[in-house]
Amino acid sequence: MFGVELAKNLFKDAIKSSFNEEHIIYAFLTGPFTFGSAKHDIDMVVVIDNKRLNPLEKIEYQKRILKFVEKYLRIHKFLGYAPDLDFPSDVVTYTQIEDSINGRGFDVKDSKLYLRKIKTKKDYFNTKIDYRVYLWELITSCEGFILGDYTKYIVDKFRALNTILLYTISKLESGKVTLRDIKEKIFTLAGLDERYDVVSDYIEPMIVYMLRIMSFQGYIAQEDEKNSS
């Protein structure tokens, strides 16, 4: 299998030849591929600044997306991976990213947040699932940045992690919650499989940092960097 850097360069060329670069907020590879544990496709996200598009450009972008998907498929074939034919990459607007960070992927029942269970392939076509995917994609990228505003990309990663941590902690039993508890649940609660165990280890420093910030903000009471409640 080819490395992440080669894939990033190939997708960078595909993105730049498919979209106007000034309309791209950022683009990145994500998921198990960036950690060397991909079994199927290469996950990637291209975030478009929809507020800069006029009505005609928005219509034109449908054609641009199809053009990019063709290149996405060719890159997968070249690298020896089977593409996701149902969801061939995520070309999303920044408004969708903002909405996902602000919790649009969650449902509310009895005044509590929950994530819909994914039981069948049909469930993946639910809009709520899309926003959940965008949220977790932001935190599951290992050196996957391709192009765009790197600072904004990093800031959004931490904002997404903040949302995910608040949800994860709310689903754990009351009382003392350990770092291990959070690492074990942060991906399984979203329905992600064992391939994401390595991701959990990778983002541990990010989790510890965000727990400190959340403690300072008063969201949680933290005893030390290994425990929070």
Q: Which two tokens stand for residue 188?
A: 């399984």
**Could you tell me which residue, 60 or 12, shows the higher pLDDT?**
12
Distant-in-sequence, close-in-space partners of 55: CB < 8 Å, separation ≥ 6: none
**Is residue 103 scored above 60 in pLDDT?**
yes
pLDDT given for residue 194 in this prediction: 73
Q: Tally the domains of the chain.
A: 1
**Is residue 221 scored above 70 in pLDDT?**
no
Residues 152 and 155: their CA atoms lie apart, in Å, by: 5
Q: What percent of the chain has pLDDT over 70?
A: 91
Q: Between helices 204-217 and 179-188, what is the axis angle to 10°? A: 110
**Could you tell me which residue, 74 or 112, shows the higher pLDDT?**
74
- pLDDT band, residue 201 (cuts 50/70/90): confident
Owner of token pair 């106007």: 20
**What is the average pLDDT across 205-229?**
73
What range defines the domain where residue 18 resides?
Answer: 4-228
pLDDT given for residue 228 in this prediction: 42
Point out the least confidently predicted range of 38-52, 114-128, 172-186: 114-128
pLDDT tens by residue, 65-99: 999 999 999 999 999 888 887 776 789 999 999 99
Q: Which two tokens stand for residue 18?
A: 């498919």
Q: Which two tokens stand for residue 205?
A: 């420093």
**Is residue 227 scored above 60 in pLDDT?**
no
**C-alpha pair distances (Å), 81 with each of 39, 46, 211:** 8, 19, 37
**What is the average pLDDT across 36-49?**
84
**Is residue 226 scored above 90 in pLDDT?**
no
Q: Which long-range contacts (CB under 8 A, 24 or more apart) does 188-191 make?
A: 189/115, 190/115, 190/132, 190/136, 190/164, 191/115, 191/117, 191/118
Query: Cβ–Cβ contacts within 10 Å for residue 44, how many?
Result: 27
Among 113, 118, 125, CA closest to 163:
113
pLDDT tens by residue, 45-65: 999 999 999 888 888 888 999
Point out the least confidently predicted range of 69-83, 104-118, 128-142: 104-118
**Is residue 134 scored above 90 in pLDDT?**
yes
**Is residue 35 scored above 60 in pLDDT?**
yes
**What is the average pLDDT across 141-164?**
95
Q: Which two tokens stand for residue 154?
A: 């990093």
**What is the average pLDDT across 137-162?**
95
